[in-house]
Amino acid sequence: MRAVLQSALADLADVPARSRWVRSGDLRLHVLDYGGDGVPLVVLPGITSPAITMDFVARELPDLVRPIVLDVRGRGLSDSGKSYTLDDYADDTIAVLDGLDRPLLLGHSMGARIAAVVAARGVPLRGTVLVDPPMSGPSRGPYPTTLDAFLGQLEQARRGTDADEVARSWPRWPRREQELRARWLSSCDAEAIAATHAGFESEDFFTTWPNVPAPTVLLYGGESPVVTAAGAAEAAAANPAARLVEVPGAGHMVFWDEPETALHLLREILKGW
């Protein structure tokens, strides 16, 4: 059972964005729209990351772009879905993109996989930033975080957790991000997590990646177990038009692990577009 805590909803009062809603078929999807006159940048978070968990990144960008962060189906304030395939997520993203003039698209982890599918479909975009996409898949190594680990953290959130407990799993994160994780993780649907995790190992990123058109940047953690040095080399060979940018010292949770460096590199990428 998903639960959005009153304390979690109160966090929205401190977010410099407007909540709005988008229809994707029968689903109601929630987005945080930071406004401004810049080019829209639609942001797709990871497997257990509601939109508000990307606020610390999005709030630093409105001088360059208009960030619009999606609560992916089954997370945050968006509806749960009947299924959770990459195509489902891509359809939802295209619904959010509707009416935006050649936006930019940024995804982290699961969101990066979704962004790759959207871009490969030929949706008109100014550019795509894929942040540490899972490169696991058929005949490849498993995704490094087990499903049991994700579900264990979700169970902690459902029974009631705090930032100190979150810090045991994510010790490098800024304190505010640990607090947000503690309050918002229970909004995630267990079925969505399980189905997405299964997709990390059944849906091959490298089937889509070569078809992602330029301009595209693959931003990855220099110490990531998800995009390893070998994975980055394979990605460079499979899509020579793409630009690869390493975030030194960062693991898979790139922005959380090295906030200043990762944000600086992202801003430099966006300035170039």
Instruction: Write the CATH number for 130.
Output: 3.40.50.1820
Distance CA 118, CA 94 (A): 7
Encoded tokens for 210: 């070569």
Q: Contact at 8 Å (CB) between 55 and 69?
A: yes
- Tell me whether residue 1 is in a domain: no
- Tell me whether residue 145 is in a domain: yes
For residue range 17-72, what is the model confidence (pLDDT) as tens digits?
999 999 999 999 999 999 999 999 999 999 999 999 999 999 999 999 999 999 99
What is the overall mean pLDDT for the chain? 97
Quote the number of domains for the chain: 1
- Tell me whether residue 43 is in a domain: yes
pTM value > 0.85? yes
β 216-221/104-108 pair status: unpaired
Q: Answer yes or no: is pLDDT of 183 > 90.
A: yes
**Predicted pLDDT of residue 71:** 98
Distance CA 72, CA 93 (A): 8
- Note down the domain range covering 218: 6-271
- Tell me whether residue 178 is in a domain: yes
